[in-house]
Structure 1
Amino acid sequence: MRERFWDLPLDRLDRAEWEALCDGCGQCCLHKVEDADSGRVWPTNVACKLLDLRTARCSDYANRRRYVPDCVRLTPALAGQLEWLPATCAYRLRADGAPLPGWHPLLSGNPATVRAAGVSVIGRVISETIAGPLEQHIDWGDEEPLEVERVRDEDDD
């Protein structure tokens, strides 16, 4: 790989450089819930069934689309368009012309800095195979969850 390839525009990276740009945080492998009315996308703490929760890496990256057909194949064009990519994502940062953060393994030389920076999903997510309804796992950030009106049963008296 070329020296400081991560400073190049995304469309100039070769396949190995493109793959090496991933910081391994696992955030892109979390399910999202879209509000049908507003179009807003809410993150959850529910990971794709292929995400290895101990490493935050895909357990079958080469064949992932066979098992998860809606898995997004990230491209240089998409990197700057997908609003649900985390603000810390190296692909999104570079698509916007921003530098990589100092904790990125390409700069730090240590993949553990992703977790130390609080960016990794390791220890913070649950697999979709056991999660149940996604709506119960929405990360509301600083917003309050939508209030749901409770209808009283006649038996509640």
Structure 2
Amino acid sequence: MGPKPFWKTKTLDEMNAAEWESLCDGCGRCCLNKLEDWDTGEIAWTNIACRLLDGHTCRCKDYPNRQAIVPDCIGLTPDQVETIPWLPPTCGYRLVAEGRDLYWWHPLVSGDADTVHEAGVSVRDRTISETDVEVENFEDYLVEWPGEEA
């Protein structure tokens, strides 16, 4: 048996840039608009995507410049992984931070970037761009995603 994969031997802080970026499974769920109840902190998911999300590939259309174009885009860091309540429970960053393994469909495990889509975990072809919805209508687009915690 060969050496263990990096996500089983390194903490998020110990990963190099390429390893860090490869933890993203490409589901696209972090790029969706979410609504937070100010009283309870409960997160409600929508199918409204950031204007930079490609709804088919589930990847950012301008990843290097995303924070300049979308000022409230969060550049995820190891410290933030443990504090952001809306990271999906299936998120590779969250799983590694919690000491859990990646799912079979994660591209690092399967060797295929399409398995996240084939498993039905991604938002592929199930979103609408935020440019097509008025903010006051976001509540009309609430959805539940696979693996979502109650």
What TM-score do you get using the length of structure 1 for normalisation? 0.84
User: 2:52 maps to which residue?
Assistant: 50
User: 1:136 maps to which residue?
Assistant: 140
Range with greater deviation from structure 2 (103-112 or 130-139): 130-139
Question: Structure 1 residue 54: deviation in Å?
Answer: 1.5
- Between the aligned partners of 1:35 and 1:3, the Cα distance in structure 2 is 41
User: 1:102 maps to which residue?
Assistant: 104
User: How well do the aligned residues superpose, as a CA RMSD in angstroms?
Assistant: 1.6
User: 1:36 maps to which residue?
Assistant: 38
Length, aligned pairs only: 140
- Between the aligned partners of 1:136 and 1:36, the Cα distance in structure 2 is 18
Amino acid corresponding to residue 137 of structure 1 in structure 2: Y
Q: 1:140 to 1:24 in 2, by over 3 A?
A: closer
Task: Answer with 1 or 2: which has the greater Rg.
Answer: 1
Secondary structure at the aligned position of 1:11 is classed as helix
Secondary structure at the aligned position of 2:109 is classed as helix
User: 1:80 maps to which residue?
Assistant: 82
Question: Structure 1 residue 35: deviation in Å?
Answer: 1.3
Structure 1 runs (4+) deviating above 2 angstroms are: none
Question: Structure 1 residue 131: deviation in Å?
Answer: 2.5
User: 1:91 maps to which residue?
Assistant: 93
Deviations 1:52-85 (A, max 9, x none): 1120000000000111101111111111221100
User: 1:149 maps to which residue?
Assistant: none
Question: Structure 1 residue 37: deviation in Å?
Answer: 2.3
Amino acid corresponding to residue 23 of structure 1 in structure 2: D
- Between the aligned partners of 1:28 and 1:140, the Cα distance in structure 2 is 14
- Between the aligned partners of 2:60 and 2:142, the Cα distance in structure 1 is 22
What TM-score do you get using the length of structure 2 for normalisation? 0.88
- Between the aligned partners of 2:4 and 2:65, the Cα distance in structure 1 is 30
- Between the aligned partners of 1:25 and 1:140, the Cα distance in structure 2 is 14
Determine what percentage of the aligned residue pairs are the same residue.
52
Unmatched segments (≥5 aa) in structure 2: 146-150
Deviations 1:112-156 (A, max 9, x none): 110111111101111101123211112268xxxxxxxxxxxxxxx
- Between the aligned partners of 1:3 and 1:18, the Cα distance in structure 2 is 16
Unmatched segments (≥5 aa) in structure 1: 142-157
